[in-house]
Structure 1
Amino acid sequence: MREPPQLINRYKWYEILGIYAGIAIFLTFVLAPFVEGFLVSLKPLSQLFSSPYRFIPENGSFEAYHTMWEHVPGFARYIVNSFVISGAATVIVLILVVPAAYAFARFEFRGSGLLLGAFLAVNMFSGAVLLIPLFRLMRSLGVLNTYFAMIVPGVAFLIPSAIWLLRTYMARIPRELDEAAFVDGASHFYTLRRVILPIAMPGIVVVAITTFIGAYAQQFIYALTFNSKSEYAPLPVGLFAYFGRQEVVWNELMAASFVGIAPAMIVIFFLQRYLVSGLTAGAVKQ
């Protein structure tokens, strides 16, 4: 029996060493702030500004995680508000983006390229440029100090990038699947719902994750401008209100930050399992 050919090693040992060294350096720069922040949350205040500075805390403890809950009233409420705003923004974006991305990926119509370019140009503008017009709009609508005032601006700035990302994914799905569905008498909406969506689910999950992260990250500027009530304040504004007035208690601030991002990281971790599950689902007619 003929033996299979040996795979050719395209890299020499020093090239492989250089690749792994580059990856290690990159991960160091990416993870170092998170590691340092976590270690700061374990240090007592007396060690934060000691000389010489100690990277590893001496007699470190989780006391800051306990005292933080006492010094930030309504901390759990801030986390819930952040999830309400980010979750609602993600759902609205997906509802609007999925049919739009399918239309741009499948249909040829006049001005489609110009419209896509306009969507991309929206992301070039900072949200701060439109704060005053948006504030006047929200005030005229009477929706200041509500979730609505913080959700809608975020959705408007998240839709363009989501359309570009999902359109690229849907364009790679073979058109023969649509044609087979049309031969069986399926409408465009039925084809999107029963044929395209199961296959595009990994791309939709990626869009959902990036949208959720974007909505979670941009809450500060919109909440600080359109909301003045603590019961609607998301986590960034809540932390700013209690840790930025007179002094910054760094260990408690780091503890609050890690507790605040932990739920989002858990959600993202469990959503990752769906990135591969929909690759071939729905490609075969039942």
Structure 2
Amino acid sequence: MSNAAMIDRYRWWEIILIYCGIALFLFFVLSPFVEGFLVSLKPLSQLFSSPYRFWPENGSFEAYRTMWISVPGFGRYIFNSFFISIIVTLIVLCLVIPAAYAFAKFEFRGMGILLGAFLTVNMFSGAVLLIPLFRLMRSIGVLNTYLAMIVPGVAFLIPSAIWLLRTYMIRIPQELNEAAYMDGASHFYTLRRVILPIAMPGIIVVAITTFIGAYAQQFIFALTFNSKTEYMPLPVGLFAYFGKQEVIWNELMAASFVGIAPAMVVIFFLQRYLVGGLTAGAVKQ
């Protein structure tokens, strides 16, 4: 059914309400980003002027230039955040793909308890476990290293990734497993040659959500488990600089937008896979 045919099913006032609702939703979602970007373009003297001006007068990208000078090692902070997120994503995928396959295609004792335990892990905030995690990191000697931020990131992101990918793999016909078994294929061979190509949209969805989660949760772990500048991710690097003196808001907004650029680029190029993976398999064949 075409989009025009679907729209024709609604009355004119229902269409107006739908588009007004969409516009209102987009306003609340996008307005903080628009305001933050405009703040980064304003001279510092205009930020607290009265009356308040939404659109910058004599706006420029000067804050983006001075920010690189004001924040020592800013490029290093971005690299650290991107590197930690990539490594966390790769480790999570390596662990989650076989786990999700096992939970989706096999019945074994204690499966429901394990799945419930994974959900329970997601109920705990990282702040609640900081002290035990700090003692664990210190005992294994990984404080002030990348591992101190990678290990907790992997641990907190695995449960939701398993649930997400398991839901996708459940929709893959069980007959494919049975046919491969009848041909003498092992479970590992079946996963690698039969299941993985079909589950690739779901795997991409898990990779994107894991990358975003790893990029977003770095602050609390890095602030607790790392004190070396060379390993600081972007959130802690900005906090360490702007938290020690007067906050220069236009430079802070500029640094924030530059910092989220790598994640936005990844999402932009993979968004069609994200939408396709979330909707694929939603209709029973």
Is 2:227 aligned against 1:234? no
Q: Does 1:172 align with 2:174?
A: no
Amino acid in structure 1 at the alignment position of 2:190: T
Shift in Å, 1:245? 1.1
User: Which SS does the other structure have where 1:146 is aligned?
Assistant: coil
Gapped runs of 5+ residues in structure 2? none
Indicate conservation of the 8 Å contact 2:205/2:273, yes or no.
no
RMSD of aligned residue pairs (Cα, Å): 1.5
The offset of 1:142, in angstroms, is 1.1
Structure 1 consecutive aligned stretches of length 4 or more whose deviation exceeds 6 Å = none
Name 1:14's counterpart in structure 2. Answer: 13
Instruction: Give TM-score scaled by structure 1 length.
Output: 0.93
Query: Which residue is 1:102 aligned to?
Result: 101
Task: Quote the Cα distance in structure 1 between the aligned partners of 2:237 and 2:163.
Answer: 33
Deviation per CA, 1:199-227, whole angstroms, max 9, x where unpaired?
Answer: 11111111111111111111000000000
1:187 aligned onto 2:199: no
Note if contact 2:85-2:211 (Cα within 8 Å) is conserved in structure 1: yes
Shift of 1:7: 5.2
> Which amino acid letter does the alignment assign opposite residue 145 of structure 1?
N
**Which 10-residue stretch deviates more, 176-185 or 233-242?**
176-185
CA gap 1:7/1:257 in 2 versus in 1, 3 angstroms: closer
Partner of 1:48: 47
Note the alpha carbon deviations across 1:147-206, whole angstroms, 9 max, x for none.
001100011010000000000000011111112222222111111111111111111111
**2:72 alignment partner in structure 1:** 73
Distance in 1, Cα, partners of 2:205 & 2:190: 21
Structure 1: which amino acid aligns with 2:150? I
Are 1:36 and 2:35 matched, yes or no? yes
Which residue does the alignment assign to 1:61? Answer: 60
Alpha-carbon distance change, 195 to 53 in structure 1, aligned in 2, over 3 angstroms: same
Question: Equivalent residue of 1:272, what SS?
Answer: helix
Counterpart position of 1:133: 132
Distance 2:237 2:112 in 1: 42
CA distance in 2, matches of 1:25, 1:218: 29
Q: Which amino acid aligns with 1:105?
A: A
Q: CA deviation at 1:271?
A: 2.3
Structure 2 contact 39–249 (Cα < 8 Å) conserved: yes
Q: TM-score, normalised by structure 2?
A: 0.93
1:273 and 1:180 map into 2 onto residues whose CA distance is: 31
The separation in 2 between residues aligned to 1:7 and 1:212, in whole angstroms, is 38
Q: Where does residue 206 of structure 2 map in the other structure?
A: 207
Unaligned runs of 5+ in 1: 1-5, 281-286
Q: Distance in 1 between matches of 2:15 and 2:113?
A: 44
Give deviations 1:220-277, integer Å, cap 9, x for gaps: 0000000000000000000001111121100000000000101111122222344449
Residue 244 of structure 1 pairs with residue 243 of structure 2: yes
Change (3 A) 1:256 1:131: same
- Partner of 2:107, secondary structure, is coil
